[in-house]
Amino acid sequence: MAAHYLEFERPIADLEAKIEELSKLSETAGGGSGEELEALRARAQELRIEAYANLDAWQKTQVARHPDRPHFIDYVDALIEEFQELRGDRKFADDQAIMGGLGRFRGRPVVVMGHEKGRDTVTRVKHNFGYARPEGYRKAVRLFELAERFKLPVISFVDTPAAYPGMASEERGVAEAIARSTEKALMLEVPMVAVVTGEGGSGGALGIACGSRVLILEHAIYSVIPPEGANSILWRGARTPGEAAKAMKITAQDLVKLKIVDRIIPEPAGGAHSDPEAAMTAVGDAVEEELKALEGLSAQELKTQRAERFYAIGRNGIQ
């Protein structure tokens, strides 16, 4: 499959095309270009490191939406053993935009859930491009209740543009479903670690993101509305999405300063999509550390910690 390059990665794309061409030529000619190829590969890596060290808010938004970033299914395959998916909200239907179930995380039994966007046309339609309907959040509540009943920690992976805004979603009470899921997450009597892995959008993200600890990948974003929507609604299209992204302070670095998230998980040079295995291992290590720090807290201490954490957001103002 051809690599997907973002606009700011164009110099890297051009150089890697040259590397591929030279590599094929070298194979045909019987070698002799090894040193030149190594030098070009080193230069491509330098360009990648330079580009990703200086991303602006809009470029980070593009990286967060990159189609090759690891998705929920990838994290489950990499980090969760004996995963058993649990489907349905026991009220209306099963929503595949939010998936979840039981499994073992590095030997520890857990409840895991997260948004899934899909990879190709068929799976994107199946998972509704990550736009969860009301039954997705009611399924999340069911999973939260299961975790409480069996005293299991919860791990959630957040990656959605928003909750599904269609008529059917409104008719079935999407706002109420998100509110119930958010409330249950906040009042959980077991540890919960949430990780924003790509695009954390609006209440659609918040419904499964109210953890004891909220982590975010280095180039992920977390916002009340996508930059395009903010530009359209707040400025009536008078600005660009890039200007809106900068003003909204949606990057991981901004969010840590505002105490909306607790910790940034570094990504490989070139973003999580450039080395998914390394990115998922880093996420696993961070989640394991946070769960170990939380495991000694009582149910009341967990609820108190979570309340203090979320009440503190915004108290210091925005610089």
Residues 7-32: tens digit of each pLDDT? 888 888 887 778 777 777 766 765 55
Measuring CA to CA, which residue among 239, 242, 240, 164 is closest to residue 201? 164
Question: pTM to 2 decimals?
Answer: 0.90
One-character DSSP codes across 149-196:
HTT--EEEEEEES-S--SHHHHHTTHHHHHHHHHHHHHT-SS-EEEEE
Residues 101-123: tens digit of each pLDDT? 999 999 999 999 999 999 999 99
Rounded Cα distance, 193 and 104, in Å: 15
Residues 210-219: tens digit of each pLDDT? 999 999 999 9
State which fold the 61-311 domain adopts.
Answer: 2-enoyl-CoA Hydratase; Chain A, domain 1 (3.90.226)
Which residues lie across from 199 on neighbouring strands? 221
Q: Which residue has the tokens 């939380």?
A: 294
Going by C-beta distance under 8 Å and a sequence separation of 6 or more, which residues neighbour residue 266?
218, 282
* pLDDT beyond 70 at 278: yes
Helix (H) or strand (E) run with residue 234 in it: helix 227-234
Residues 51-109: tens digit of each pLDDT? 898 899 999 999 999 999 999 999 999 999 999 999 999 999 999 999 999 999 999 99
The pLDDT assigned to 316 comes to: 59
Residue ranges of domains in the chain: 7-54, 61-311
Residue 121: Cβ-neighbour burial (10 angstroms; 0-12, 13-18, 19+): exposed
